Amino acid sequence: MNIKMHIEYIGTDFCGWQKQANSKTVQDEIEKKLELIYSTKITLLGSGRTDSGVHGLKQVANFHTTNKKSLNPIALKNKLNSLLSSNIRISYCAIVNEEFHAQHSCRKKTYMYKIKMVEECSVFEKNRFLYIKKDLNLKKMRQLAALFLGKHDFINFCKTGYSGKDTTRRIYSFTISKRKNIMELKITGSGFLRGMVRLIIGALINYEKSLISKADVSKALRGEKKLKKNLAVPACGLYLYDVKY
């Protein structure tokens, strides 16, 4: 039996999604609870990693089990939510075909980045937004965002330690909306390298501040020259927003 789940989590207190030795991760926390339910080791396959401090609005994962005591999907969802801490929640659970793989079957991913400007974050917004003291120019940031659309080699927009040999990805859409003092940036692509979204958002902010030029970004996307200012934004404002299959 192959079980698919949609997972929400606040990433502040976790060292990312993927299980690692001596660190608290989302994958590890859910696997422990699944092993309590099924009385056997469970391997949870996620759609991809999220870094330490990054949040999940819709992480997708699946696992296989041959346990004859398997709960129906609704009962499993409810049981997991009763065992998990309040910063992780299973929002959906279903039986899918055996070939489904949360990572390998994925076609598109969308990440969202949230920025609060001018007015400081409230206690409820802390660790959920990047706070910037000044108002950002929406038109200017949209102009640069358009450069990232299409297929590019993102070797200059990823951190070391990225998985795989190929650093080419396709960006399908990149939208930026602004409502009062809140800005939301949503980027949809075929996949993302380690730190890629945070470095792209950092480039937009540095461009808005006139610390880099549009030509600088174009050259970096063509692999001609690294950005002189290539600072990643903090993880606190980043959310895995959606995964499409």
Whole-number pLDDT of residue 161: 67
First-to-last C-alpha distance (Å) of the chain? 19
Examine residue 36 and state whether it is found in any structural domain, yes or no. yes
Strand partners, 60: 6
Examine residue 125 and state whether it is found in any structural domain, yes or no. yes
Whether this model's pTM surpasses 0.85: yes
Examine residue 102 and state whether it is found in any structural domain, yes or no. no
Confidence class of residue 228 from pLDDT cuts 50, 70 and 90? confident
Examine residue 101 and state whether it is found in any structural domain, yes or no. no
| Domains of the chain: total | 2
Count other Cβ atoms within 10 Å, centred on residue 24.
12
Residue type, 190: S
Whole-number pLDDT of residue 145: 98
Alpha helices in the chain (DSSP H): 26-38, 73-83, 138-145, 196-208, 214-221
Whether 123 shows a pLDDT value over 80: the answer reads yes
Residue type, 60: V
Query: Do 77 and 115 fall within a single domain?
Result: no
CATH number, domain containing residue 220: 3.30.70.660
Cβ neighbours for 171, distance < 8 A, ≥ 6 positions apart: 148, 149, 150, 151, 152, 187, 188, 189
Examine residue 42 and state whether it is found in any structural domain, yes or no. yes
Q: How far apart are CA 140 and CA 115, in angstroms?
A: 16
Cβ neighbours for 164, distance < 8 A, ≥ 6 positions apart: none
Examine residue 175 and state whether it is found in any structural domain, yes or no. yes
Whether 229 shows a pLDDT value over 90: the answer reads no
**How many residues belong to the chain?**
245
Classify residue 17 by its DSSP letter.
S
Whole-number pLDDT of residue 231: 86
121 within 8 A of 131, measured Cβ to Cβ: yes
Whether 68 shows a pLDDT value over 80: the answer reads no
Which residues are known to be catalytic?
51
Query: Do 89 and 39 fall within a single domain?
Result: yes
Whether 163 shows a pLDDT value over 70: the answer reads no
Q: Which domain holds residue 38?
A: 2-96
Q: Which residues of 108-141 are buried (b: 16+ CB within 10 A; e: fewer)?
A: ebbbbbbbbbeeeeeeeeeebbbbbeeebeeeeb
